[in-house]
């Protein structure tokens, strides 16, 4: 299938590892010029070599901590300077924040900033140039809607879903779609470090209908499709990529 992405550009946050890295590679494989954002320069450099070796255009590496107060403006200015425009934004940066009920307020502020506020700010910073061209894609990698304990990231990701739905209704008339992808159990270095193989096997057998943990590429294929012109009628959606893990029916 030709996804009609060969003339597009993309900004991908959290692109150095895992899901973000897989999405950057997937977009580049379709001919997209990618600006890859992360904190670790060496990992961005190795990503660039992987993309070039696979036949893609060398990505723009942007070393940026999105927790910086002016991160949204910096990413807008740097990505537009390098790419000329940003057609596709993939909000992938974030992290889990399990907190006790007596956690200090600054830990909640940090979690909400990392997992919601910066993503919203980056999107709003890039929206004017999307609206001007009457085309754009905003894809948010979010999180589960079934919290089993107190985790500030879950609250932030719920805010992401609500914000994305509302935004989709405002910008659809301009040819811009806004969608969210909550991952299921996706393999990463952290997962391999924290969960032994026998636990992963038992969890897959008892909890995941397809009976295996996903790889970053399993989610990347959904993100790349949503980024394409072919996905023009999908917006305001929350589309889990989780092997059937979630139990709710809608």
Please state, in angstroms and rounded to a whole number, the distance separating the CA atoms of residues 192 and 202: 14
Alpha helices in 134-250 (DSSP H): 152-171, 189-194, 197-207, 216-227
Beta bridge partners of 140: 91, 180
The whole-model pTM stands at: 0.95
Looking at per-residue pLDDT, the higher value among 31 and 99 belongs to: 31
Over residues 213-238, the pLDDT tens digits come to 999 999 999 999 999 999 999 999 99
pLDDT at 121: 98
Q: Are the C-beta atoms of residues 38 and 14 closer than 8 Å to each other?
A: yes
Report the topology of domain 9-188+217-231. Rossmann fold (3.40.50)
pLDDT score at 179: 98
Phi and psi dihedrals of 47, rounded to 5? -60, -45
Maximum Cα–Cα distance across the chain: 52
111-139 pLDDT, tens digit per residue, is 999 999 999 999 999 999 999 999 999 99
For residue 1, is pLDDT > 70?
yes
State the pLDDT confidence band at 11, using cuts at 50, 70 and 90.
very high
Cβ contacts of residue 62 below 8 Å, gap of 6+?
A: 35, 36, 37, 44, 75, 78, 79, 82
* pLDDT tens sequence across 137-160: 999 999 876 777 899 999 999 999
pLDDT, tens digit, for every residue of 42-69? 999 999 999 999 999 999 999 999 999 9
Domain residue spans in the chain?
A: 9-188+217-231
């Amino acid at each position: 299938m030709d996804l009609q992405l060969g003339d597009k550009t993309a900004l991908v946050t959290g692109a150095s590892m895992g899901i973000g890295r897989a999405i950057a590679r997937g977009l580049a494989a379709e001919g997209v010029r990618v600006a890859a954002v992360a904190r670790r320069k060496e990992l961005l450099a190795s990503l660039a070599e992987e993309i070039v070796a696979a036949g893609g255009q060398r990505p723009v590496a942007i070393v940026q901590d999105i927790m910086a107060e002016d991160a949204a403006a910096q990413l807008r200015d740097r990505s537009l300077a390098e790419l000329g425009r940003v057609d596709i934004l993939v909000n992938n940066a974030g992290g889990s924040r399990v907190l006790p009920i007596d956690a200090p307020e600054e830990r909640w502020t940090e979690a909400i900033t990392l997992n919601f506020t910066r993503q919203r700010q980056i999107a709003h910073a890039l929206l004017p140039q999307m609206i001007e061209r009457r085309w754009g894609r905003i894809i948010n990698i979010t999180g589960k809607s079934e919290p089993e304990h107190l985790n500030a990231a879950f609250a932030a990701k719920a805010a992401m879903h609500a914000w994305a739905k509302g935004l989709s209704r405002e910008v659809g008339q301009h040819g811009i779609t806004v969608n969210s992808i909550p991952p299921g159990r996706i393999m990463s270095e952290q997962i391999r470090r924290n969960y032994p193989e026998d636990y992963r096997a038992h969890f897959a057998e008892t909890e995941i209908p397809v009976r295996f943990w996903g790889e970053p590429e399993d989610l990347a294929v959904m993100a790349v499709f949503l980024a394409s012109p072919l996905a023009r009628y999908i917006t305001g959606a929350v589309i889990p990529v989780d092997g059937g893990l979630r139990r709710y029916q809608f």
